[in-house]
Amino acid sequence: MSGNNWVPVIAENKLKAESSKVVFPRGIAVLLIRKAADELFAVSNRCAHMSCPLRDGKLDGYVLSCPCHDWRFDIRTGRFLDAPEIAIRVYETRIEEGNVWVKL
């Protein structure tokens, strides 16, 4: 694995398609969302509004709604749909050596 910002976060077979999980690489709360076997996203688990955990949010397509006040984010870009200058952090992911890796 090139560069030392890539961190293995979970065994690939522990994250099934259509599921999500919060992991904590180097103490950072990252929400992994696996929509399909080859469609994996990683976003900050903290909402850009008041930091509510996004893991309890509702996913509709690629739009994740915060459970606290319904701010909606595109999990592909992190963008807040109602004001594109606001975003949550998104992380690159890859699957290698049987693990999911996240680039911090």
Site residues, ligand FES (CB under 6 A): 47, 49-50, 52, 66, 68-69, 71
By beta-carbon proximity to ligand FES, the closer residue of 52 and 104 is 52
**Residues forming a β-bridge with 10:** 100
From the number of C-beta atoms within 10 Å of its C-beta (0-12, 13-18, 19+), residue 70 rates as exposed
Shortest Å, Cβ 69 to ligand FES: 3
By beta-carbon proximity to ligand FES, the closer residue of 7 and 54 is 54
Shortest Å, Cβ 10 to ligand FES: 24
Shortest Å, Cβ 53 to ligand FES: 9
Of 27, 15, 20, 35, nearest to 98 by C-alpha is: 15
Pair 66, 57: CB distance under 8 Å: yes
By beta-carbon proximity to ligand FES, the closer residue of 9 and 88 is 88
By beta-carbon proximity to ligand FES, the closer residue of 50 and 83 is 50
